[in-house]
């Protein structure tokens, strides 16, 4: 009996080793398509209501095809147009910053004020004899303009120059979406059976991921789209340069829960106060306050509700870290990774902490 148990354990560990090797090999196979698969799964959740509407009177296959066609017209065509306009305006911003057009305009405005004299007086009183100039203070802004403009231009040019690759990428994503609509529920049940965790824990992980994906794309995505469009229209109305580009930048900044579009609109308001009139700057500040308040406290609670309970500071660093590590897709990857960690932490506290730390588990019960 003892020998039989030892043999069974040896067979089990041999199978486990083979299984782990197969997982690693499978992961290596799908690694190049990981972003495509993940985005396909996320967009499946976003367009699920559309699929359900078609499913009322049509077969699942036809409903899935029609939903994918709608995705093509709603997502792909606007993205191609968006990238083309973005490339043109980003190059314009880069050239302006390179030729010091904007910085010279700003210096001319600031020289009419006595702000620099006051700054130098404060430095002299502090024992610092070195005199500051507007060129030194404005130089970082000009450099930032060059970096932002060139970065967006390079990204947009890379996409437009490889249009065939973009079409293939989007087509692969639509294939994922099509089969997720058809067989998504069976795949989820298969993963439940494959996972060694309890079904309630698997379901908790799945629900949290689905909620976070919906919050990031539907809540933050639509909120960012609204704020970006409104900010771009405001820039165009005020006669400021590159309204489309700055609208895109504000759309991305809107994902950040702490800083948001104020990073762009507050300096723009100050610039307008110096350039034209106090009223224009105050109007921009009021516009920023109403827009941000409306999105954060009216729009997002209505769309997202209380589905995602994550501290804004965690969301902020998750997105910043995701952008640094994964690029533009870090806007999605960062919050999903944070969701994975927090959900596993909840599972640990509810089911495994008493096994690892009996005293804590006993005190909590």
Q: Which residue has the higher pLDDT, 177 or 210?
A: 177
pTM for the whole thing? Answer: 0.66
Say how many Å lie between the first and final Cα of the chain, rounded: 40
Q: What pLDDT shows up at residue 98?
A: 57
Q: Give the residue-averaged pLDDT of 257-266.
A: 80
Could you give the CA distance from residue 183 to residue 203 in angstroms, rounded to a whole number? 17
Q: What pLDDT shows up at residue 124?
A: 60
Structure tokens at 211: 């909620």
Could you give the CA distance from residue 248 to residue 233 in angstroms, rounded to a whole number? 11
**Helices of type H across 99-221:** 101-110, 115-125, 134-161, 163-194, 199-214
Could you give the CA distance from residue 117 to residue 96 in angstroms, rounded to a whole number? 28
Structure tokens at 206: 């799945």
Burial label for 209, CB within 10 Å (0-12, 13-18, 19+), is middle
Most confident among 158-167, 196-205, 279-288 (mean pLDDT) = 279-288
Q: Where are the domains of the chain?
A: 199-365
Asked if 93 and 241 count as a contact pair (C-beta separation under 8 A), the reply is: yes
Degrees (nearest 5) of the Cα angle 328, 329, 330? 85
The answer for residues whose C-beta is within 8 angstroms of residue 18's C-beta and 6 or more apart is none
Asked if 315 and 335 count as a contact pair (C-beta separation under 8 A), the reply is: yes
Most confident among 24-33, 72-81, 204-213 (mean pLDDT) = 24-33
């Amino acid at each position: 009996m003892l020998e039989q148990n030892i043999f069974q354990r040896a067979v089990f560990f041999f199978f486990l080793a083979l299984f782990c090797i197969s997982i690693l090999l499978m992961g290596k196979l799908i690694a190049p398509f990981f972003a495509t698969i993940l985005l396909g799964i996320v967009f499946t959740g976003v367009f699920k209501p559309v699929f359900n509407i078609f499913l009322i009177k049509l077969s699942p296959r036809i409903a899935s095809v029609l939903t994918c066609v709608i995705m093509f017209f709603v997502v792909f065509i606007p993205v191609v147009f968006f990238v083309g306009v973005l490339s043109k305006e980003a190059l314009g911003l880069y050239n302006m910053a390179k030729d010091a057009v904007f910085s010279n305009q700003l210096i001319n405005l600031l020289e009419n004020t006595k702000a620099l004299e006051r700054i130098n007086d404060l430095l002299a009183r502090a024992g610092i004899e070195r005199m500051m100039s507007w060129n030194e203070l404005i130089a970082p802004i000009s450099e930032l303009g060059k970096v932002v403009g060139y970065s967006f231009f390079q990204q947009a040019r890379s996409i437009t120059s490889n249009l065939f690759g973009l079409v293939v990428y989007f087509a692969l994503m639509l294939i994922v979406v099509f089969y997720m609509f058809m067989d998504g529920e069976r795949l989820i049940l298969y993963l439940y059976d494959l996972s060694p965790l309890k079904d309630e824990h698997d379901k908790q992980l799945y629900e949290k991921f689905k909620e976070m994906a919906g919050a990031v794309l539907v809540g933050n995505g639509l909120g960012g789209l609204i704020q970006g469009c409104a900010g771009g229209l405001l820039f165009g109305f005020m006669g400021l340069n590159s309204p489309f580009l700055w609208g895109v930048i504000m759309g991305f900044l809107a994902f950040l829960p702490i800083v948001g579009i104020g990073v762009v609109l507050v300096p723009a308001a100050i610039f307008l106060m110096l350039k034209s009139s106090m009223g224009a700057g105050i109007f921009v500040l009021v516009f920023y306050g109403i827009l941000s308040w409306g999105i954060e406290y009216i729009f997002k609670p209505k769309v997202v509700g209380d589905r995602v309970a994550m501290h804004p500071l965690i969301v902020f660093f998750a997105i910043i870290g995701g952008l640094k590590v994964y690029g533009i897709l870090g806007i999605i990857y960062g919050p999903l990774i944070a969701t994975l960690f927090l959900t596993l932490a909840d599972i640990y506290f509810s089911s495994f902490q008493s096994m690892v730390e009996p005293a804590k588990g006993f005190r909590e019960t």
